[in-house]
Amino acid sequence: MMNWRVKKQSFRNSLIFWMFVLPALILFGVFTFYPMFYNLYYAVFESNVLTGQKYFVGLENYVRVFTDRIYRRVLLNTASFAGAMLFIRLPLSLLIALIMNAKIRGQSIYRAIIFTPSLTSTAAIAILWIWIFDPGFGLLNSLLALIGINGPGWLSSTSWALPAIILMSIWKGVGYDAVIYLAGLQSIPQSLYEAARIDGASPLQIFRYITFPLLSSITFFLTITVVINSFQIFDAVAVMTQGGPLHSTNVYVYYLYQQAFQYFDMGYASAMAVNLLALILGLTIMQLRLSERWVHY
């Protein structure tokens, strides 16, 4: 009798469990998992969206990646962007966090100002930055002129457009990383610093042997998110340069968007989407492997 009731209870529980998770499962199924299979499937076809015809081409769309010079350029641009975020933005944010960590008044105000750009719409803020980068009357070249430098054409120059987008992205993201670093710094016990000071450690030694190792798990988390986010940038490029001039700012997701919605090359776009997923997974696994050497938990 008892056994039967327990069984009935657990059946009821299961039913409620599935009812509760079902909406999320269906939505993920349709908008997250199905697209991956769709990409894998369509990547082996050459399709024409307008006529609706498709021909099986095997791995041709994947092979095309190796001969497509624009694709190579796009990868290089995306990697340069990721590199700049990793090796300029992250150290800069750590530096800012270290300075903010000094017990000073008004810390929360500084923190709020530095953090604000990361909350704003990239598309809207990109409009502001087009104006800041204006070669003739923009803020940046006006300031450069004050110290006697004739500023470049920024967004209209093949060599300066990508650095310009990188500059804006550093401005936009540095405060976000700094807030995370600051939280990490504040969780380091003061007693460690005091002990080190009594032992006569210099500030540089304290940073090298205490602060940095204790922040390594945060640095690791940030390197992973920074790299993943870098491979997903789209808004700034779409608004500021549309990938130009001459593909000098074209990045992965923007090129994928062009293939899918401007050239209507579904097969190639699908292969690119599959590659994007593989790239992100690969880079994350690589970072996980590397982390064993320098991250202390």
Partner 1 sequence: MTGITARLKRSKYRRELLNKFLAHAVLWIIAGTIGAPFFWLVTTSLKSFREIFVFPPVWFPETLRWENYVKAWQAAPFGQFYVNSVIVSVVGVGLSLACCVLAAYALACIPTRWNQLVFVVFLSTMMIPQEASILPNYRVISKLRWIDSYLGLIVPSIASGFGIFLMRQSFLQTPIDLLDAAKLDGAGHLLTLRHVVLPLSRPIMITFGLFSFLWKWNAYLWPLIVTNSERMRTLPIGLAMLRVQEGMTEWNVLMAGTVFVLMPVIIVFIFAQRYIIEGVAHTGLKG
* Residue 274 touching partner 1 (CB under 8 A): yes
* Residue 253 touching partner 1 (CB under 8 A): yes
* Residue 53 touching partner 1 (CB under 8 A): no
* Residue 257 touching partner 1 (CB under 8 A): yes
* Residue 288 touching partner 1 (CB under 8 A): no
* Residue 91 touching partner 1 (CB under 8 A): no
Q: How far is the CB of 259 from partner 1 (least distance, A)?
A: 9
Number of residues that bind partner 1 (CB under 8 A): 95
Q: What is the CA radius of gyration of the chain?
A: 25
* Token duo for residue 80: 């340069």
Q: Which range in 23-31, 70-78, 192-200, 288-296 contacts partner 1 by CB under 8 A?
A: 23-31
Q: Which range in 24-32, 50-58, 72-80, 190-198 contacts partner 1 by CB under 8 A?
A: 24-32
Q: Which of residues 155-174 bind partner 1 (CB under 8 A)?
A: 171, 173-174
Q: Which residues contact 90 (CB under 8 A, 6 or more apart)?
A: 177, 219, 222, 223, 226
* Residue 1 touching partner 1 (CB under 8 A): no
* Residue from the set 73, 164, 270, 271 that interacts with partner 1 by CB under 8 A: 270
* Residue 129 touching partner 1 (CB under 8 A): yes
* Residue from the set 75, 82, 84, 117 that interacts with partner 1 by CB under 8 A: 117
* Residue from the set 59, 63, 76, 127 that interacts with partner 1 by CB under 8 A: 127
* Residue 262 touching partner 1 (CB under 8 A): no
* Residue from the set 1, 2, 24, 198 that interacts with partner 1 by CB under 8 A: 24
* Residue from the set 239, 245, 287, 291 that interacts with partner 1 by CB under 8 A: 239
* Residue 59 touching partner 1 (CB under 8 A): no
SS (H, E, C) the chain: CHHHHHHHHHHHHHHHHHHHHHHHHHHHHHHHHHHHHHHHHHCCEEECCCCCCEEECCCHHHHHHHHCHHHHHHHHHHHHHHHHHHHHHHHHHHHHHHHHHCCCCCHHHHHHHHHHHHHCCHHHHHHHHHHHCCCCCCHHHHHHHHCCCCCCCHHHCCCCHHHHHHHHHHHHHHHHHHHHHHHHHHCCCHHHHHHHHHCCCCHHHHHHHHHHHHHHHHHHHHHHHHHHHHHCCCHHHHHHCCCCCCCCCCCHHHHHHHHHHCCCCHHHHHHHHHHHHHHHHHHHHHHHHHHHHHCCC
Q: Identify the bridge partners of residue 60 per DSSP, sorted by sequence position.
A: none
* Residue 227 touching partner 1 (CB under 8 A): no
* Residue 148 touching partner 1 (CB under 8 A): no
Q: Which of residues 95-114 bind partner 1 (CB under 8 A)?
A: 96, 99-100, 102, 104, 106, 108, 110-114
